Structure 1
Amino acid sequence: MRLDSSAFPVVKIVFDAPNEGGSQDSFVMFEGLLARQQSFVLLYEKTLDELNHAHSYEEREHASHWMKTHRQALRAYVKGMIQVEPCAAKRRALKPFAATFGNAWGYPLLMVASNDQAWALARDVLDEQVSDVTYF
């Protein structure tokens, strides 16, 4: 996983890009984003079917520990993660996972049908025009 902050405050998540440092390097990048002390959203533009990465037990354990360590900053600065999924049935099926995700990471998982909707929602979330919204 790589985080592309070139469009900050919208930060793209790129899973198919090589990452020389592995997941450890991704968390260092994430810490750098949190260190800015500015609100941002995470955006994953590929559909669920295009996500072909399974996390190992060690990766999940490291992520869990990292998340707990950075919980306060995550809640303060990450306004949401937006996932593009064109299939309405898949978006509905992920609704329970979205609630679990939000409780675990401290920011909501928002699902939309298209890249255009994702960018519009990102602008709305960052403009604080949307509060506690879940698009399905």
Structure 2
Amino acid sequence: MKIFAHMSNLQQLSQEYLSLKGIKGHWEGGEYTKEVDSFNSRKHQAMKTLAESIAVGSDSKIIYDLFGQPDKIETDTLTFMPGPVVQSTVADTDGPKDLFLEYYWRGRHDFLYFQVDSTTSVVKKVAWYNALE
């Protein structure tokens, strides 16, 4: 894991993120809420900082420790609506699949995702999808 911030700071930031995760903002059918919906909101900043602390090659347990349960898990491919598809890097389609753990900032409009090897639990990719509307 990258050493981005002291672990206790990450735990505090994780708690803040988890408390904000429970607020339904505009993109999830609720009222517009500045600390959740706006660019660089408290939720957005928490997610960015936490994501920067997770390096490719890390054990995926750190994702669950900091972000809790994903909003969505996809296997093999991650499809953006509208837009690109990220394919699993697993060559054998009959074998284990990569997992894509999605954490919503503003619903499926803008979200953070982690690509994880389902066999080794190693993080293969940390990235954002932003609709840029």
The structure with the largest helix share of the pair is 1
Task: Determine which structure has more spread, i.e. the larger CA radius of gyration.
Answer: 2
Structure with the bigger percentage of strand = 2
Using the size of structure 2 for normalisation, the TM-score is: 0.29
